Structure 1
Amino acid sequence: MMDDELKLRTELVEACQNMSRLGINKGTAGNVSVRHGEGLLISPTGVPYDKLTPEHVVAMRWDATFEGDVLPSSEWRFHRDILQARPDLNAIVHTHSTKATAVSILEKDIPAIHYAIAATGASRIRCAPYEIFGSQELADRAIEALEGSRACLLAHHGVIAAHVSIARALALAVTVEELASQYLLCLPTGEPPVLSEEQIAEVLVKFKTYGQQSPKVVEGYRQAS
């Protein structure tokens, strides 16, 4: 196993375990994948996250073949298809986080109630229509719901968050859960007011440099640490 692959496998395992620590997943629900080589690395099916090791991670080719006895996540289809359809995305985090899943049960999109929705690259988080888990139909619906965005809900199911890295996909999954919580708190009073497309476009521009420090500052922080 090459060093870069081992690094990705380790990062994937840590992300799976962090989903539980962050409170956005329970048990063996959810899954994580990352683009690698001529395919992807994906978390296995049915292995408790506290027992997961880099060796359990499955290396899958684009044609869905893989080596070894460890089976990939049952949701491998939408992981593979999204990564193939979206070259701008390198990693996917799928969760059954409570609040976002509750919104998906209502079969609602999450509108632009807060400027943080711009982290998805879009002005709303769409909810894909229900399809049975693990199916090609679900993969197709997910790709449609992700058009122009990095996150979507799956009706009566959960969340997909995707980004350029595992760390950023995981952070986006947390943001989706926060937005869902805010939306659910607003709903008892009716549909809340939302930011306009123009306002979200302004936020998207500011997000290009949001939270970024110069390399000199970052290196100084590392040395001080």
Structure 2
Amino acid sequence: MNGAPLADNENTLRESLLFTTRQLTDKGLNRGTTGNVSVRLPADDEAAFLITPSGVPPLEMSAASMVRMRFSGEHDGSVRPSTEWQLHRDILLHHADAGAVIHVHSPFATTMACLHRDIPAFHYMIAVAGGDSIRCAPYALFGTQALSDFAIDAMTARHACLLANHGMLAIGRNLPHALSVAIEVEALCEQYWRILQIGEPHLLSDEQMQEVLNRFKNYGQWQSP
């Protein structure tokens, strides 16, 4: 995922953040007020990033309700940021090439997360998440530093991870890219869940997955870190 995040003006990013948040509900990746999304602001903006507000259903959100936050943890205005702002902040700090972070409680990713199962290389599209597996981070209470620390470890050289007994985390160069990663990871979790109803899959070897990862470096818009 090389290259700088897309720079854009704040109003456009607010609209994009609202659109992406509603897309997560429309596509069944979130329900009600679950999940949250953030996008990095241009480098010359001291606010650092925008994040969805706390406890507001997507249909009740507006572009104006997106919260401007600094990496110090301070936010502008009276609207409270998502309780997961620290997770988003820390992921953005540790992934300088990421322009957006998506956190969802999608059904199949959450199912696998509640089993504390990594998703192995049962299909070559696992490489969409940046490696030969999708790791599951250990459980920690939402909104805590422990959750950030576990997620950062699980996201080492990855674009996505599961959060035990919680959900899924995905990053991208920008909001559309992060959304595409989240959609694909949810689909992979569903496929893996279905396979487990029958038996254990035949996994691709390390060598086979490395071939895929090498190919993905120059495939379409996908780029590995």
Tell me whether the two structures share a fold, i.e. TM-score over 0.5.
yes
Tell me whether 31-40 or 95-104 shows the greater mean CA deviation.
Answer: 31-40
Q: Give the letter aligned to residue 55 of structure 1.
A: A
Mind listing any 5+ residue stretches in structure 2 that lack a counterpart? 1-7
Q: Give the letter aligned to residue 19 of structure 2.
A: E
The structural deviation recorded for 1:67 is: 1.4
Q: How does 1:103-114 map to 2 (within 5 A)?
A: 103-114=112-123
Q: Give the letter aligned to residue 8 of structure 1.
A: L
Partner in structure 2 of residue 6 of structure 1:
11
Q: How does 1:109-124 map to 2 (within 5 A)?
A: 109-124=118-133
Give yes or no for the alignment of 1:65 onto 2:70: no
Partner in structure 2 of residue 21 of structure 1:
26
The structural deviation recorded for 1:159 is: 0.2
- For residues 130-172 of structure 1, the C-alpha deviation after alignment (integer angstroms, 9 at most, x for no partner) is 0011111101110011011010000010000001111110110
Match of 1:186 among 180, 191, 195: 195
Tell me whether 158-167 or 184-193 shows the greater mean CA deviation.
Answer: 184-193
The structural deviation recorded for 1:80 is: 0.1
Provide TM-score, normalisation by structure 2. 0.90
Q: How does 1:9-88 map to 2 (within 5 A)?
A: 9-36=14-41, 37-38=45-46, 39-88=48-97
Identity %: 47
The structural deviation recorded for 1:189 is: 3.3
Which structure's residues are more often helix, by fraction? 1
Match of 1:100 among 86, 109, 112: 109
Tell me whether 33-42 or 125-134 shows the greater mean CA deviation.
Answer: 33-42
Provide TM-score, normalisation by structure 1. 0.90
- For residues 20-45 of structure 1, the C-alpha deviation after alignment (integer angstroms, 9 at most, x for no partner) is 11111111100000111332110010
Give yes or no for the alignment of 1:173 onto 2:174: no
Q: How does 1:151-170 map to 2 (within 5 A)?
A: 151-170=160-179
The structural deviation recorded for 1:209 is: 3.2
| Structure 1 runs, 4 residues or longer, greater than 6 Å off | none
The structural deviation recorded for 1:121 is: 1.1
Q: Give the letter aligned to residue 29 of structure 2.
A: I
The structural deviation recorded for 1:202 is: 1.4
Partner in structure 1 of residue 143 of structure 2:
134
Distance (Å, rounded) in 2 between the aligned partners of 1:126 and 1:58: 30
Q: Give the letter aligned to residue 92 of structure 2.
A: L
Partner in structure 1 of residue 3 of structure 2:
none
Give the CA RMSD over aligned residues: 1.2
Aligned length: 210
Q: Give the letter aligned to residue 171 of structure 1.
A: S
